Structure 1
Amino acid sequence: MTTTGTTTANPTRIALRTLADRYLALWNEPDAGLRRKALEELWSDDGLHVLQPPQDMREQAEGLGFTEVKLEARGHDALEYRVTRAYEEFVAPGEYVFRARGEAEQLRDVVKLSWEMAPAAGGEALGGGTEFLVLGEDGRIVTDYQFISL
Protein backbone atom coordinates (compact mmCIF):
# COMPACT_ATOMS: atom_id res chain seq x y z
CA MET A 1 0.00 0.00 0.00
CA THR A 2 1.28 3.47 -0.75
CA THR A 3 0.57 6.60 1.26
CA THR A 4 1.87 10.07 0.39
CA GLY A 5 4.72 8.71 -1.67
CA THR A 6 5.92 6.38 1.09
CA THR A 7 5.57 2.63 0.76
CA THR A 8 4.46 0.77 3.86
CA ALA A 9 4.37 -2.98 4.05
CA ASN A 10 1.12 -4.82 4.68
CA PRO A 11 1.80 -6.99 7.79
CA THR A 12 -0.68 -9.66 6.68
CA ARG A 13 0.98 -9.94 3.26
CA ILE A 14 4.43 -10.21 4.89
CA ALA A 15 3.19 -12.90 7.30
CA LEU A 16 1.65 -14.87 4.43
CA ARG A 17 4.80 -14.60 2.34
CA THR A 18 6.86 -15.72 5.36
CA LEU A 19 4.58 -18.70 5.95
CA ALA A 20 4.73 -19.69 2.27
CA ASP A 21 8.52 -19.29 2.21
CA ARG A 22 8.95 -21.37 5.39
CA TYR A 23 6.58 -24.05 4.09
CA LEU A 24 8.43 -24.43 0.79
CA ALA A 25 11.87 -24.19 2.42
CA LEU A 26 10.92 -27.20 4.53
CA TRP A 27 10.47 -29.39 1.43
CA ASN A 28 13.85 -28.21 0.06
CA GLU A 29 15.83 -28.48 3.35
CA PRO A 30 18.82 -30.87 3.04
CA ASP A 31 19.61 -31.08 6.78
CA ALA A 32 17.36 -33.64 8.49
CA GLY A 33 17.64 -31.96 11.90
CA LEU A 34 16.74 -28.53 10.54
CA ARG A 35 13.93 -30.09 8.50
CA ARG A 36 12.45 -31.68 11.64
CA LYS A 37 12.78 -28.42 13.60
CA ALA A 38 11.07 -26.45 10.82
CA LEU A 39 8.31 -29.06 10.60
CA GLU A 40 7.62 -28.84 14.35
CA GLU A 41 7.48 -25.04 14.12
CA LEU A 42 5.06 -25.13 11.15
CA TRP A 43 2.69 -27.98 12.10
CA SER A 44 0.71 -28.60 15.26
CA ASP A 45 1.62 -31.76 17.19
CA ASP A 46 -1.31 -33.66 15.67
CA GLY A 47 -1.07 -31.91 12.29
CA LEU A 48 -2.54 -33.67 9.28
CA HIS A 49 -1.32 -33.64 5.67
CA VAL A 50 -3.90 -34.93 3.18
CA LEU A 51 -2.79 -35.48 -0.40
CA GLN A 52 -5.21 -35.87 -3.24
CA PRO A 53 -3.49 -38.60 -5.25
CA PRO A 54 -2.76 -37.96 -8.93
CA GLN A 55 -5.49 -39.01 -11.35
CA ASP A 56 -3.61 -42.10 -12.59
CA MET A 57 -3.29 -43.40 -9.01
CA ARG A 58 -7.01 -42.82 -8.38
CA GLU A 59 -7.88 -44.67 -11.59
CA GLN A 60 -5.68 -47.62 -10.63
CA ALA A 61 -7.33 -47.77 -7.21
CA GLU A 62 -10.78 -47.65 -8.79
CA GLY A 63 -9.75 -50.58 -10.98
CA LEU A 64 -9.06 -52.50 -7.77
CA GLY A 65 -12.49 -51.64 -6.36
CA PHE A 66 -11.58 -48.68 -4.15
CA THR A 67 -14.10 -45.86 -4.42
CA GLU A 68 -12.04 -43.30 -2.51
CA VAL A 69 -8.30 -42.93 -2.31
CA LYS A 70 -6.68 -40.49 0.07
CA LEU A 71 -3.16 -40.33 1.36
CA GLU A 72 -2.65 -38.98 4.88
CA ALA A 73 0.18 -38.32 7.29
CA ARG A 74 -0.70 -37.32 10.88
CA GLY A 75 1.66 -36.14 13.61
CA HIS A 76 5.25 -34.95 13.44
CA ASP A 77 6.80 -38.40 12.83
CA ALA A 78 4.51 -39.23 9.90
CA LEU A 79 4.85 -35.71 8.50
CA GLU A 80 8.63 -35.95 8.75
CA TYR A 81 8.55 -39.22 6.82
CA ARG A 82 6.32 -37.67 4.13
CA VAL A 83 8.46 -34.56 3.71
CA THR A 84 11.72 -36.53 3.79
CA ARG A 85 10.43 -38.97 1.18
CA ALA A 86 9.52 -36.10 -1.18
CA TYR A 87 12.89 -34.44 -0.52
CA GLU A 88 14.82 -37.66 -1.24
CA GLU A 89 12.90 -38.36 -4.43
CA PHE A 90 12.84 -34.91 -6.01
CA VAL A 91 15.31 -32.51 -4.36
CA ALA A 92 18.25 -34.54 -2.99
CA PRO A 93 19.39 -35.85 -6.40
CA GLY A 94 19.84 -32.20 -7.43
CA GLU A 95 17.23 -32.35 -10.18
CA TYR A 96 14.38 -30.25 -8.79
CA VAL A 97 13.40 -27.57 -6.30
CA PHE A 98 10.02 -26.54 -4.97
CA ARG A 99 9.24 -22.84 -5.33
CA ALA A 100 6.29 -20.50 -4.82
CA ARG A 101 3.91 -19.75 -7.66
CA GLY A 102 2.03 -16.51 -7.13
CA GLU A 103 1.06 -14.97 -3.83
CA ALA A 104 -0.42 -16.77 -0.84
CA GLU A 105 -3.95 -15.75 0.19
CA GLN A 106 -5.75 -16.00 3.51
CA LEU A 107 -9.41 -16.24 4.43
CA ARG A 108 -9.90 -16.44 8.19
CA ASP A 109 -7.89 -19.47 9.35
CA VAL A 110 -7.25 -20.90 5.87
CA VAL A 111 -4.21 -20.07 3.76
CA LYS A 112 -4.03 -20.97 0.08
CA LEU A 113 -0.62 -21.18 -1.54
CA SER A 114 0.51 -22.55 -4.85
CA TRP A 115 3.89 -24.01 -5.67
CA GLU A 116 5.73 -25.61 -8.53
CA MET A 117 8.47 -28.16 -8.99
CA ALA A 118 11.11 -26.84 -11.35
CA PRO A 119 14.56 -27.94 -12.52
CA ALA A 120 17.21 -26.96 -9.95
CA ALA A 121 19.23 -25.38 -12.74
CA GLY A 122 16.30 -23.12 -13.59
CA GLY A 123 13.66 -23.27 -16.24
CA GLU A 124 10.02 -24.07 -16.67
CA ALA A 125 8.11 -25.94 -13.98
CA LEU A 126 7.33 -29.61 -14.57
CA GLY A 127 4.49 -29.79 -12.08
CA GLY A 128 3.05 -28.16 -9.05
CA GLY A 129 0.13 -27.92 -6.75
CA THR A 130 -1.99 -25.95 -4.37
CA GLU A 131 -2.11 -26.19 -0.59
CA PHE A 132 -4.99 -25.22 1.62
CA LEU A 133 -3.53 -24.82 5.10
CA VAL A 134 -5.91 -24.67 8.05
CA LEU A 135 -4.17 -22.85 10.88
CA GLY A 136 -4.68 -23.32 14.61
CA GLU A 137 -4.93 -20.52 17.15
CA ASP A 138 -1.14 -20.64 17.58
CA GLY A 139 -0.63 -20.06 13.85
CA ARG A 140 0.64 -23.57 13.18
CA ILE A 141 -0.82 -25.85 10.52
CA VAL A 142 -3.59 -28.12 11.79
CA THR A 143 -4.53 -29.56 8.40
CA ASP A 144 -2.76 -29.29 5.03
CA TYR A 145 -4.84 -30.24 2.00
CA GLN A 146 -2.54 -30.77 -0.98
CA PHE A 147 -3.78 -30.88 -4.57
CA ILE A 148 -1.19 -31.89 -7.16
CA SER A 149 -1.47 -30.50 -10.67
CA LEU A 150 0.80 -31.72 -13.42
Structure 2
Amino acid sequence: MSQHVQQGAPEQAIDHAAAAERYLAAWNATDEGERKAAIAAAFTEEATYTDPLVEVAGHDGLAAAIAGARQQFPGFVFRPLGAVDGHHDIARFGWELVAPDGSAPVAGFDVVRLAGDGRIRAVSGFLDRVPAM
Protein backbone atom coordinates (compact mmCIF):
# COMPACT_ATOMS: atom_id res chain seq x y z
CA MET A 1 0.00 0.00 0.00
CA SER A 2 1.44 3.37 -0.91
CA GLN A 3 0.89 6.52 1.07
CA HIS A 4 1.10 10.10 -0.05
CA VAL A 5 2.49 12.35 2.63
CA GLN A 6 2.45 16.08 2.07
CA GLN A 7 4.79 18.07 4.26
CA GLY A 8 5.18 21.77 4.77
CA ALA A 9 2.69 24.57 5.02
CA PRO A 10 -0.40 24.56 2.84
CA GLU A 11 -0.39 26.97 -0.11
CA GLN A 12 -3.10 29.13 1.44
CA ALA A 13 -3.54 29.21 5.19
CA ILE A 14 -7.15 28.98 6.34
CA ASP A 15 -8.22 31.02 9.36
CA HIS A 16 -10.14 28.40 11.34
CA ALA A 17 -11.11 30.81 14.13
CA ALA A 18 -12.56 33.30 11.64
CA ALA A 19 -14.63 30.52 10.06
CA ALA A 20 -16.05 29.62 13.48
CA GLU A 21 -16.83 33.29 14.17
CA ARG A 22 -18.75 33.60 10.88
CA TYR A 23 -20.56 30.35 11.67
CA LEU A 24 -21.74 31.63 15.06
CA ALA A 25 -22.70 35.00 13.52
CA ALA A 26 -25.00 33.14 11.11
CA TRP A 27 -26.63 31.25 13.99
CA ASN A 28 -27.03 34.51 15.93
CA ALA A 29 -28.63 36.44 13.07
CA THR A 30 -32.19 37.26 14.15
CA ASP A 31 -33.42 39.14 11.07
CA GLU A 32 -34.06 37.25 7.80
CA GLY A 33 -31.95 39.66 5.70
CA GLU A 34 -29.11 39.65 8.20
CA ARG A 35 -29.30 35.85 8.36
CA LYS A 36 -29.14 35.51 4.57
CA ALA A 37 -26.01 37.70 4.40
CA ALA A 38 -24.38 35.90 7.34
CA ILE A 39 -25.06 32.49 5.80
CA ALA A 40 -23.55 33.60 2.48
CA ALA A 41 -20.45 34.85 4.33
CA ALA A 42 -20.05 31.67 6.40
CA PHE A 43 -21.13 28.84 4.06
CA THR A 44 -20.58 27.77 0.47
CA GLU A 45 -23.73 27.59 -1.66
CA GLU A 46 -23.83 23.78 -1.52
CA ALA A 47 -22.86 23.45 2.17
CA THR A 48 -24.34 20.59 4.17
CA TYR A 49 -25.30 20.62 7.84
CA THR A 50 -25.98 17.49 9.88
CA ASP A 51 -26.68 17.16 13.59
CA PRO A 52 -28.84 14.72 15.60
CA LEU A 53 -32.00 16.78 14.93
CA VAL A 54 -31.67 18.01 11.35
CA GLU A 55 -29.94 17.38 8.03
CA VAL A 56 -30.03 20.18 5.45
CA ALA A 57 -28.12 21.42 2.43
CA GLY A 58 -27.65 24.77 0.73
CA HIS A 59 -28.30 28.28 1.93
CA ASP A 60 -32.09 27.83 2.01
CA GLY A 61 -31.81 24.68 4.12
CA LEU A 62 -29.39 26.37 6.50
CA ALA A 63 -31.64 29.43 6.78
CA ALA A 64 -34.61 27.21 7.66
CA ALA A 65 -32.64 25.29 10.30
CA ILE A 66 -31.31 28.48 11.87
CA ALA A 67 -34.73 30.15 11.79
CA GLY A 68 -36.18 27.09 13.54
CA ALA A 69 -33.57 27.31 16.31
CA ARG A 70 -34.15 31.07 16.68
CA GLN A 71 -37.88 30.44 16.96
CA GLN A 72 -37.43 27.66 19.52
CA PHE A 73 -34.99 29.74 21.60
CA PRO A 74 -35.99 33.41 21.24
CA GLY A 75 -33.56 35.85 22.81
CA PHE A 76 -30.82 33.21 23.18
CA VAL A 77 -27.30 33.76 21.82
CA PHE A 78 -24.79 31.21 20.54
CA ARG A 79 -21.31 31.80 21.96
CA PRO A 80 -18.02 29.94 21.56
CA LEU A 81 -17.02 27.46 24.22
CA GLY A 82 -13.26 27.04 24.34
CA ALA A 83 -10.76 27.55 21.56
CA VAL A 84 -11.12 26.59 17.90
CA ASP A 85 -8.86 23.70 16.91
CA GLY A 86 -8.02 23.24 13.25
CA HIS A 87 -5.68 21.81 10.70
CA HIS A 88 -5.76 21.68 6.93
CA ASP A 89 -9.39 22.31 5.91
CA ILE A 90 -10.94 20.94 9.12
CA ALA A 91 -11.87 22.75 12.33
CA ARG A 92 -13.65 21.77 15.51
CA PHE A 93 -15.11 23.98 18.19
CA GLY A 94 -17.55 23.97 21.05
CA TRP A 95 -20.45 26.36 21.55
CA GLU A 96 -23.28 26.97 23.95
CA LEU A 97 -26.67 28.55 23.62
CA VAL A 98 -27.08 31.21 26.29
CA ALA A 99 -30.46 32.32 27.62
CA PRO A 100 -31.25 35.95 28.50
CA ASP A 101 -30.80 35.00 32.19
CA GLY A 102 -27.22 33.84 31.51
CA SER A 103 -27.88 30.11 31.79
CA ALA A 104 -26.72 27.87 28.96
CA PRO A 105 -29.15 24.94 28.65
CA VAL A 106 -27.79 23.79 25.29
CA ALA A 107 -24.18 23.11 24.31
CA GLY A 108 -22.58 21.31 21.42
CA PHE A 109 -19.47 20.59 19.45
CA ASP A 110 -19.12 20.98 15.70
CA VAL A 111 -16.62 19.72 13.17
CA VAL A 112 -16.49 21.68 9.93
CA ARG A 113 -14.80 21.19 6.60
CA LEU A 114 -13.76 24.40 4.87
CA ALA A 115 -13.50 25.45 1.25
CA GLY A 116 -10.39 27.21 -0.04
CA ASP A 117 -11.98 30.60 0.56
CA GLY A 118 -12.48 29.77 4.25
CA ARG A 119 -16.23 29.28 4.05
CA ILE A 120 -17.78 26.14 5.47
CA ARG A 121 -18.75 23.38 3.06
CA ALA A 122 -19.85 20.74 5.59
CA VAL A 123 -20.83 20.66 9.27
CA SER A 124 -21.12 17.62 11.51
CA GLY A 125 -22.75 18.78 14.71
CA PHE A 126 -23.02 17.06 18.07
CA LEU A 127 -25.24 18.03 21.00
CA ASP A 128 -23.53 17.65 24.36
CA ARG A 129 -26.14 19.28 26.59
CA VAL A 130 -29.85 19.60 25.81
CA PRO A 131 -32.79 20.56 28.02
CA ALA A 132 -35.23 17.87 29.10
CA MET A 133 -38.29 17.97 26.88
* TM-score, length basis structure 1: 0.71
2:19/2:118 contact within 8 Å kept: no
Gaps of 5+ in 2: 1-12
What count of residue pairs does the alignment treat as equivalent?
A: 117
Amino acid of the structure 2 residue aligned with 1:145:
S
1:12-47 Cα deviation digits (max 9, x unpaired): 79x333322221121121221011111011111110
Task: Determine the structure 2 residue equivalent to 1:85.
Answer: 68
**Structure 1 vs Structure 2 CA RMSD:** 1.8
Task: Determine the structure 2 residue equivalent to 1:6.
Answer: none
Aligned equivalents of 2:41, 2:48: Cα separation in 1 = 14
Which one has a bigger Cα radius of gyration? 1
Q: Which 4+ stretches in 1 moved above 6 angstroms?
A: none
Gaps of 5+ in 1: 1-11, 54-70
Percent identity of equivalent pairs: 30
State yes or no: 1:50 paired with 2:30: no
Aligned equivalents of 2:87, 2:57: Cα separation in 1 = 24
Aligned equivalents of 1:110, 1:17: Cα separation in 2 = 11
Aligned equivalents of 1:107, 1:140: Cα separation in 2 = 15
Aligned equivalents of 2:28, 2:55: Cα separation in 1 = 20
What is the 5 A alignment of 1:113-124? 113-123=93-103
